[in-house]
Structure 1
Amino acid sequence: MDFSPPPRCKSCMICKKEIPLGAPTAEVQKQSAHKECFKCSICDCELIQGQCSQDIALAKTDFLRSRGPLWFCRNHMMLGAGEKMELLKKKTK
């Protein structure tokens, strides 16, 4: 008999909503995200693991604090924080 607890649903690191068991996910830095949430914060392209980066410092600004982790595609990950911020502000208008 298996007395282990049933598998628990994880929550998405980006939108904070529950990820149903068996749903397609992206597993990054020991965290999970809905596949559809794991996209570039600037251009919304689907991210490829190993070809993207997170900007932790930028996520701590007042303007972006409530948005969760910010991930960037290879085209945008090397931009400076100021350039990223300007592009994100334009996107939210």
Structure 2
Amino acid sequence: MSTAHQIDNLELIADPKLAKLLGFSLRSFARWDNDPNTGFPPPLKINGRNYRRRAEVDAWLKARALGSLKAGATKGRAANGDDAARP
């Protein structure tokens, strides 16, 4: 692993900036922090401010998108009656 790649994995994003980028509120982040089922990356506190590791946020977003796709595919099969033929 290159040094540049290691540095990229350590990139931190402040919660206010991340909230703006993702279109969520800081209150959503607080709720997700208190609910381990969300899988939202935990904050790193630096001088009383919350930061997140970019690599962890990217992985969370990817998992969330894949979960939505799988849920949509399941709903589509059920709506079409495709699940009736499966055991």
TM-score, scaled relative to structure 2: 0.25
Question: More strand per residue: 1 or 2?
Answer: 1
Greater RCO (CA < 8 Å, at least 6 residues apart): 2
TM-score, scaled relative to structure 1: 0.24
